[in-house]
Structure 1
């Protein structure tokens, strides 16, 4: 998944796949960074239920407690650790305006260990097929053992479902990590977004823009009439009160249209260019899209918060504080020893991968025993030659 993580238990098999051990080591730093971005924005020790409908948080669904065929439910990060340890969990990445369900009436045999006093249901929560471990318009699991096509998955910022790039109905642009995507289904449910798309969206294969002139065809006229219908104020305000300050109306009057097909990608800061007039705010509210006017709602904003939290926590790490108290020579010695051990461990695992052997706990134990033995020999040698 793009910009997302899924807690998955990986098994090292005694076959050709054993070589993935090296890949795991090489990608460890990247995975840790992604994990801190997603998880550090959520509390791993306390159930989020008392906070109400949290603006955005990491969520999980438990297939052990609420399997397919039952009622969908979601649990917060802390409950996934404390209440559902050893269960089969689906990681949902992050979702907005959600309240933890752990232990409520949807869980017939489980009581929340962290906050048992919950209402029977959270009526404002929104659920989708993601809560049963399937995603995209194809309703397939992730990872999909039957899918041999390498394809990234991208989350729609409106419905928050994850879709395969090949099922978006458009070409996925470059630097997609810095962009937001709205799927075709959500675009069609809120047609006025197509007006914004013609002016603000990232150009793509499905985005063919054309100028409307006085010689419009009947099709173009019909499409323009449809847009005008969408732009009519939902309240009884007079036309003269809305038109001067409505950006959406001004964009429509420019006469630029876009083929209404496929998902739409939006560049960073596109939300700040939406219309904030009273009529448009009401329109977005009626469509349950008020969050689009909030730039802090974005996943990038959430991830940035998570990274900052992680950095602040690291600033209070006693091990880091101890390292800071060492002199420069001692610091360099520790760094060199750590890098040497990391290199030797990688080489050690590489040999197992090359021979197609499984690494056992005893192998790892022997490796660190050898490391300790070498360290003792270096210390003894240093003492022998010291004067």
Structure 2
């Protein structure tokens, strides 16, 4: 007879703690009580779009985490995960019948905000909703640096069970793309990597030069090496070539601007050096970048100007990454919570006591689920009084059980 598999309370608590950390990664970096509007264009924050207030065909708008709770409770919201350099729109001109309850004195528009199809609940080059009903897929989490919540994409990832696929966010346009629409294979290990879609790469063609040296090749991407020792210098010039900002000696060219720590080197341009090496990769498909790749970008004056003109200055800022935002949220949540007293108390319990507690926990969880499902079936709202009565019933049952009333004579 096969041994019955048991799960300890420690396992359950650790799994619950992991789920809480995932939620903290998305939400703890944003304020859930105060509208973010007074902070101006926030570097990165959790955002939502309200299809109840701004339906398709109208003007796109985004609201902060606090406003999604306080001003749009009960509305149909699209969870946008995070966006950079965005100012809360809640209650401005785009909301004709709603005034922000948290910060009503807002400008009519936030001119620097950037909007995409995501604000109307569609994603990818195929402009489909998430989850896509045509895929008829179940949702399960993957552990890669990709997407999170059941209502919309985010950073933990989702995987279709029938249409095997996942959605990954481009760090430039911040749209979410299906893996099958990236134009190439997805690397197996991308836990700490960022992705730039093919469209954004083509719109900023100088980035292709970095792919030869910094990116992670996808499964369907071919890489070939070429040497330019016999190629006339004129042939090196193209859309993705940038001329150096000053003339250099041979010694300066060898040292160059390495980009490490973004230290500026007036005498050289790392991008130009990489172009002259001549290694070439097929210029197609999305590009995946490894951890800390931003620190290797050239930060000479000319490159800074080019990035600024393209609206890509944030690529020189490693704190702009979603990973940095997540880590900040997790750290903040841990400081607020402190050590878990329940986990600490388990050290003083033996195995039998832990099993008794886990059985009680499972029973309560099942009963609570059944209790809440009755409200869902009847379309009723669960109130605090309902929850109070539920736990009072639990206490009453426990007392009767302790008195032996549940046992047969």
8 Å Cα contact 1:184-1:264 kept in structure 2: yes
1:343 CA displacement: 2.7
Which residue is equivalent to 1:3?
none
Q: 1:103 to 1:346 in 2, by over 3 A?
A: closer
Give yes or no for the alignment of 1:282 onto 2:302: no
Once the two structures are TM-superposed, the CA of residue 212 in structure 1 deviates from its matched residue by 2.0
**Residue of structure 2 aligned with 1:344, choices 353, 363, 366:** 363
Residues 370 and 119 of structure 1: is their aligned pair in 2 closer, same or farther, counting only changes over 3 Å? closer
The offset of 1:349, in angstroms, is: 8.9
| Aligned CA-pair RMSD | 3.7
Equivalent positions of 1:28-39 (< 5 A) are 30-39=18-27
**Cα 1:248/1:41, change in 2 over 3 Å:** same
State which of 375, 378, 385 in structure 1 corresponds to 2:398. Answer: 375
Asked whether the equivalents of residues 206 and 261 of structure 1 are also in contact (C-alpha less than 8 Å), the reply is: no
Relative distance call for 1:337 and 1:216 in structure 2 (3 A) is farther
Q: Which residue of 1 aligns with 2:98?
A: 110
Shift of 1:250: 1.3
**Structure 1 partner of 2:148:** none
Task: Name the counterpart of 2:154.
Answer: none
How many pairs are equivalent? 342
Q: Judging by fraction of residues, say which structure has more helix.
A: 1
Partner of 2:211: 197
Distance 1:84 1:361, change over 3 A: closer
Give unpaired runs (5+ residues) of structure 1: 1-24, 353-357, 382-387
- Shift of residue 186, structure 1, vs aligned partner: 0.2
1:226 aligns with 238
- In structure 2, do the counterparts of structure 1 residues 310 and 331 end up closer, same or farther at CA, with 3 Å as the change threshold? farther
8 Å CA contact 2:28–2:329 kept in 1: the answer is yes
Q: Which has the higher contact order (CA 8 A, sep 6+)?
A: 1
Distance verdict in 2 for CA 1:337–1:48, change over 3 Å: farther
Distance 1:26 1:368, change over 3 A: farther
- The alpha-carbon distance between structure 1 residues 325 and 260, as it changes in their structure 2 partners (threshold 3 A), is closer
Q: TM-score, normalised by structure 1?
A: 0.78
**1:31 to partner: Cα distance:** 3.9
Q: CA deviation at 1:188?
A: 0.3
Alignment of 1:144-223 (within 5 A): 144-148=132-136, 149-213=163-227
Q: Structure 1 residues 278 and 331 mapped into 2: Cα distance closer, same or farther (>3 Å)?
A: farther
Q: Cα 1:232–1:130, aligned 2, differ >3 Å: closer, same or farther? A: same
For residues 235-268 of structure 1, the C-alpha deviation after alignment (integer angstroms, 9 at most, x for no partner) is: xx43339964211111111111111000000010
Residues 1:55 and 2:55 aligned together: no
Larger CA deviation: 116-125 vs 168-177 = 168-177
Structure 1 pair 163–216 and aligned structure 2 pair: CA distance change class (3 A): farther
Q: How does 1:117-132 map to 2 (within 5 A)?
A: 117-132=105-120
